[in-house]
């Protein structure tokens, strides 16, 4: 064998590989940008419900595929299932639609045993509602929410085991500006009681599924614009038992919520 020949062969192989490892360069004076999808604006004249549940076309290809997938799951005959699909109307941003119920999860070919109280969904997503704490024939509650559409407490009848309850399409509309309402929080407290802010959400209050707002030194908030609907409020520094409450925003109206802090553990709604 010729050692020199082997050495030349190795050099040749190394040189052949080097160009493929180099990143190509842009030699011309051009810039790169990502395509930006045009943002659809909410319909300023829309005056219907911001969140509505409409009858599903169960003969459509999408619904047929979803129902077959759920019916073929291993434990489908023993479960109390409801199923729904999300439909985001024109003007709604990329924020997911939020849901809260006893047990919610994404529709998948197999029952993985997962799920939880809270669920996020985008346009076209199917999800399963497993009624684990309600008897057949009783009413069960599903809270639906979106920052641009407010919140809705939807109720359905729990199906018998082995019967799939088709809720339908949950259609969420962006609220036109003229339909927004306002809310203001006023907290009467002594100087020794701490209260720096509060949370407002559609399905829960506190944490990353809601929005935090500050209180000034006098215990008052600014006016907050919200779509009409049902909301949850948590006054910080007081704990969930004392600080959690529900309220409703009406279209075009201002809602003033007044509280009196008796102590760090006790609040009275006035």
Q: Do domains 51-172 and 177-269 have the same CATH topology?
A: yes
pLDDT band at 25 (very low <50, low <70, confident <90, very high): low
Copy the structure tokens of residue 99: 């849901």
Per DSSP, the residues of 30-99 read -------PPPPPP-TT--S-SEEEE---TTSHHHHHHHHHHHTSTTGGG--EEEEEEEEPTT--SPPEEE
Residue 111 is predicted with a pLDDT of 73
Give the confidence band of 174 by pLDDT, cuts at 50, 70, 90.
very high
Quick one: which of 159, 169, 170, 168 has its CA closest to 81? 159
58 and 142 Cβ atoms separated by less than 8 Å: no
> pLDDT for 94-111, tens place per residue?
999 999 999 999 999 887
Confidence of residue 26 (pLDDT cuts 50, 70, 90): very low
Q: How many CB atoms lie within 10 A of CB 60?
A: 10
pLDDT computed for residue 30 by the predictor: 61
Given CA atoms 65, 117, 146, 39 in this order, what sign does their dihedral have? Answer: negative
- Which fold is adopted by the domain 177-269? Immunoglobulin-like (2.60.40)
Which residue ranges make up each domain of the chain?
51-172, 177-269
Confidence check: pLDDT of 180 > 70: yes
Mean pLDDT of the chain: 87
Q: Phi and psi of 251, rounded to 5°?
A: -60, 125
CATH topology of domain 51-172: Immunoglobulin-like (2.60.40)
At 109 the pLDDT is 87
Q: Which of 134-138, 190-194, 223-227, 236-240 has the highest mean pLDDT?
A: 223-227
Q: Do the Cβ atoms of 264 and 217 come closer than 8 Å?
A: no
Rounded distance between C-alpha atoms, residue 43 and residue 57, angstroms = 25
- pTM of the predicted protein model: 0.80
Q: Tens digit of pLDDT for each residue in 226-243?
A: 999 999 999 988 888 889
| Mean pLDDT of all residues in 73-100 | 93
């Amino acid at each position: 064998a010729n050692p020199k020949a082997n050495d030349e062969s190795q050099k040749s192989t190394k040189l052949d590989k080097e160009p493929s490892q180099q990143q190509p360069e842009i030699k011309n004076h051009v810039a790169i940008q990502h395509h930006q999808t045009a943002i659809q604006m909410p319909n300023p004249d829309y005056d219907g419900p911001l969140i509505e549940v409409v009858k599903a076309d169960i003969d459509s290809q999408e619904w047929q595929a979803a129902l077959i997938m759920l019916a073929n799951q291993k434990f489908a005959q023993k479960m109390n299932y409801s199923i729904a699909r999300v439909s985001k109307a024109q003007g709604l941003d990329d924020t997911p639609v939020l849901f809260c119920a006893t047990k919610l999860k994404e529709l998948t070919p197999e029952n993985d045993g997962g799920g939880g109280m809270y669920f996020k969904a985008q346009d076209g997503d199917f999800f399963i509602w497993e009624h684990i704490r309600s008897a057949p024939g009783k009413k069960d509650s599903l809270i639906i929410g979106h920052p641009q559409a407010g919140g809705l407490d939807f109720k359905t009848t729990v199906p018998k085991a082995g019967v799939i309850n088709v809720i339908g399409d949950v259609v969420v509309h962006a609220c036109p500006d003229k339909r927004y309402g306002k809310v203001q929080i006023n907290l009467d407290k002594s100087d020794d009681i701490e209260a720096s802010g509060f949370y407002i959400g559609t399905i829960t209050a506190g944490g990353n599924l809601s929005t935090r707002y500050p209180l000034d030194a006098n215990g008052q908030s600014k006016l907050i614009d919200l779509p009409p609907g049902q909301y949850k409020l948590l006054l910080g520094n007081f704990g969930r038992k004392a600080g959690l409450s529900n309220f409703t925003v009406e279209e075009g109206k201002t809602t003033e919520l007044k509280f009196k802090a008796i102590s760090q553990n006790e609040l009275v709604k006035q």
